[in-house]
Structure 1
Amino acid sequence: MGSVSKRAALMKEVASAVYHALGENQPVERDRQRQKARAFGKPQPHSANPSFNPEPTGVYTATTDRKSRSVSMLHGEIVNSLADQLAALGYKAVNKGVADEVKPDIVVMGSKRAIIEVKTGCTWQDIKDVLGQLFLYKLFVDTPENIELIAVVPSNISEKRAAVLSYYGIRLIKWERSDGCVIFKGLEDIFPRIPSPA
């Protein structure tokens, strides 16, 4: 078996294990679990004026065990930059007034609807987190049937990890920093520019 075949077999095995762990191979049980989750946190109608509240950015000093270190709030920088770029493309990006109980990073409203989760890393823990977060958020939006799930991940994500997300129908936008700015690869493939009304 060649290395490509081994990699493909491993990817299929990993995806199958995650698929099984999430109960996706048992539609009746999955629907029962979804109903229980909805009963716990019933989807709320959107507020009359959902909005975007910028996340904190910059650098702060964290002190633990008498040691200080500088911590960058990169997540906020990525979320805020993405919301700005979505607005420039003609989309309404919100994070307040929609699924407030679980606080998704961004919900795109309008004719194209999406839930977006931003990750600053792409470890297996990040992949597990994004899977859980996006499917949880989907339970809390008022019309989950017509909504895309999107993960915003570092551009150096491995093929294997990207394949696991794709297996579950999660689309990817890759981010990287360039000259102090956050650049999003694949953003306009998912969110084509909406022409301004004439």
Structure 2
Amino acid sequence: MESQPITLSSTVSFWTHYRATRAIVNRLSTTYIAWGFFVGVPLLLVLVMLCLGEDIFVPGVYGLPTWAILVGGLLFMLVFIPLIQCLNISSMRRRNPSVGGIQTYTIAPEGYTIKGSLFDTTLKWDAFLKAIETKEFILLYVSTRWAHFIPKAAATASDLQAIRTIVQDKLGTKAKLQAA
């Protein structure tokens, strides 16, 4: 038996858009590399210095103590990168009025459709590389760095289960969804 289409509507606020973007960006390999470079390498440096009995409080490069490199990397990853993402989303939403407002999502066996006041996009399931379910969203990836997002808050429990069934059926092993 073919599944019935599920239609949901949700207002995509700035913060919903921001959280969805963070969910996508946090899963990129470049994000893991950045964490390794800006936090992992300085942490290893500090640990090696401590193991060798070096003083991490002695001024070094640019007159800063060694531990400041670690703190700087943490601040970069935890404050600067999210702030840049906030500014990018804000700028995009100002320039493109179709991004905000009420959006309607239809998940059907034939494909995925998203409609807003100024657009109507339909994609067949073959257009998606993978699907990942997070705590707040179902992310439908059309490339390794870009995904459509469906806010789970817009769906009832039975709608979510029906969406999972359709996505799992159409994407198979490419779908990483939560169990019922």
TM-score w.r.t. length of structure 2: 0.30
Higher relative contact order (CA 8 A, sep 6+): 2
TM-score w.r.t. length of structure 1: 0.28
The structure with the larger Rg is 2
